[in-house]
Structure 1
Amino acid sequence: MRLFRSDDLLGIARETMEFVLEASEATHPNEYMGFLRADDASALDIDRDGQVITDVLVIPGTESSPMSASVRSHMKPNDMRSVGSVHSHPNGVLRPSDADLATFGQGEVHVIVGAPYGWGDWKAFDNEGNQRTLEVLDVEMPDEHFFDFTQEDIDRELGDANDDRGGFLSWLR
């Protein structure tokens, strides 16, 4: 494990881009907004120095409308994996507005996704609003065990909540 990560941003994982497109479409006609997070390429078995965008962090309390999305900045964690932002433009315009440029200060890449939210309906920009290249990479995503459970586990816990042994949901009684 290296102490310092390379600052080179190699691209975005295909699975992450699929999530962004789906989340943007699901939020339509309101804007979608999140923060992009990256993993070291070596953790993804890529034999190059750099980082790959693998996650989107959505901040609790994000408010969105068809014209804008706003984040409570005090809710954003000091995240060492943060590399930029993503948001949608329901009107389909794939260029940053003046308001967008005012929020592009943190991170090195900012993705704008436009309706109808297909593979050709997004662009990446730098902090100044200049379009930049962001390659979509086919990588094996790291295992996240935060939600490491099955439907059988849920059913078992729900069943346990109805007997005298307690269980995960027993506090609901």
Structure 2
Amino acid sequence: MNEHATLLLTALYYTLCLPVYTLFRALALVLSPLYYGLQFVLLPFIYLARFGSRVIVFPFVLLARLETLYVYLGVAGIIGVCAGGILYFIFSALKSTFNLDSYDEGYGVTAAEYRAARCKRKAGEDYASAPVLMDTSCRFKDFRLLKQRDLLAQTILEEDDSDY
């Protein structure tokens, strides 16, 4: 390097940088007791802030640990949805191509519905013809069914003594 440039840089260092550096060192020396005292007073709040920040960041840390599983399940879900959609469209196209739509015709009245309607009709006819005397055959059947479900009508089986 040039001798004049070296001399110029040395002069700038000693006239600008060294006094600023010395001033900051003196300021730090004077303010250090205040800094340490303030740090001692604020220490519980600093620990509380650290704890709060760790609680807030914890879900993200957990997510980072489970990132591989998260990516695996996400890709599996996307593949499953795509495969299901493709299969749905293929089978719907085949179904419409070969006219495989099965239209279930409404079934007629079941036996139980027919019996209930007949019993109701019979009760209405009997009531209209003889208001005092009423056919109780339907009621008797219902009563008999209710009686069969009664706890006292059931047989209680005794248990055999066993070795276990």
TM range (shorter): under 0.3
TM-score, structure 2 normalization: 0.19
Larger Rg: 2
Higher helix fraction (1 or 2) = 2
TM-score, normalization by structure 1: 0.18
With a CA cutoff of 8 Å and minimum separation of 6, indicate the structure with the bigger relative contact order. Answer: 1
